[in-house]
Amino acid sequence: MTMRRHDAPHLPAFGGEAWPWRGGDLQTLRHFIRRDIPEVKGGARVVIDLDDGDRLLAEFHSPQGPAKAAIIAVHGLTGCMDSDHIKSLTHQALARNIAVMRVNMRGAGPARALARKSYNAKAGADLLPFIKAMRKAVGDDLPVVMVAHSIGGAAALNMMLDYPDQLSGLDGVVSVAAPIDMHASNKRFHSARNWLYMRHLLAGLKQLAEHVPGIAPDLLARVRRVPTITGFDEVLTAPMAGFASADDYYTGASTFHRLDAPPRPTLLIHADNDPWIPVDAYLGLPRHDQLDVMISRGGGHVGFHDGDGVWSNRVIFTWLERFIRTG
């Protein structure tokens, strides 16, 4: 049995970790090691002006054939629209005649110079404009779902829960390996076994901070000195997001206790051996008609590499079929 929880029998089960990518760490690192996902070409640039003067950046891709659905694809921590998991999802979606908008969360990747603020797990409001932009690109007839990974998944869930009356044009939300309990995820991430992961992502966060337009020199100096992601969140993420401390930010951005009745159909995908995000909060989620929880035995963090490719993508495409109108 390759599933710990399988709420929707019509959705494909995980096929087991493909050799040699056995274990949570190799599943997590497979894309990083192989570097075999081709670039995504031919997109149309999308720039969105926000009320506070910052700008968002995305890229829209139409399939060669008539589009039957559309995906708003959101990356994870220190990622951007060019992250390997986003490119993989995009290539496979376009091959299935599904349009894709690859978004950069505020200040991520190529959008860094366009924003003074930065993305975080509670920044759901920043994702709302992409729904309107996607509707403008594909019209009113196609189903649109948001597929968000890791911290982007946390932001997407917060968007849905914080702004239920502003979701017009969005048919569903998918999160892949989202930290729905931020306190537990932060504790796990700072454990001794994850020290190298933490140092790598901290370096990426500090690099983003170096290029924040107009950042105060004394604040940047403090950011450079922090030894952990918790410290980074205390000094920069939490204050920028309007929280008094990192602890307050982790409490405010957690969603596991608010998913009892999602306002939109919601699919949560997670692996029981994710080295960064504990599975416990997922196992305790209630049953609801609007909520499908898929927990695989194995798969790592945003990995899910089995003998047939990336299992999470197959689940997403099958789940999306429920929204596609026929006839």
Residue 61 has pLDDT above 60, yes or no: yes
Q: Centre a 10 Å sphere on the Cβ of residue 145 and count the other Cβ atoms it contains.
A: 26
Q: Computed over its alpha carbons, how large is the radius of gyration of the chain?
A: 19
Q: The pTM is what?
A: 0.97
pLDDT for position 69: 98
Residue 321 has pLDDT above 70, yes or no: yes
Residue 243 has pLDDT above 50, yes or no: yes
pLDDT for position 325: 72
Q: Span 38-63, mean pLDDT?
A: 97
pLDDT for position 149: 98
Q: What is the mean pLDDT of the chain?
A: 96
Residue 327 has pLDDT above 50, yes or no: no
Ordered by where they begin, the domains of the chain are 3-182+255-323 (3.40.50.1820)
Q: Tokens for 87?
A: 């490119």
AA identity, residue 193:
R
Alpha carbon distance 222, 244 (integer Å) = 17
CA distances from 301 to 76, 95, 118, 134 (A): 11, 25, 23, 28
pLDDT band at 326 (very low <50, low <70, confident <90, very high): low
Alpha carbon distance 263, 164 (integer Å) = 6
pLDDT for position 1: 61
pLDDT in tens, 113-163: 999 999 999 999 999 999 999 999 999 999 999 999 999 999 999 999 999
Alpha carbon distance 13, 65 (integer Å) = 29
pLDDT band at 223 (very low <50, low <70, confident <90, very high): very high
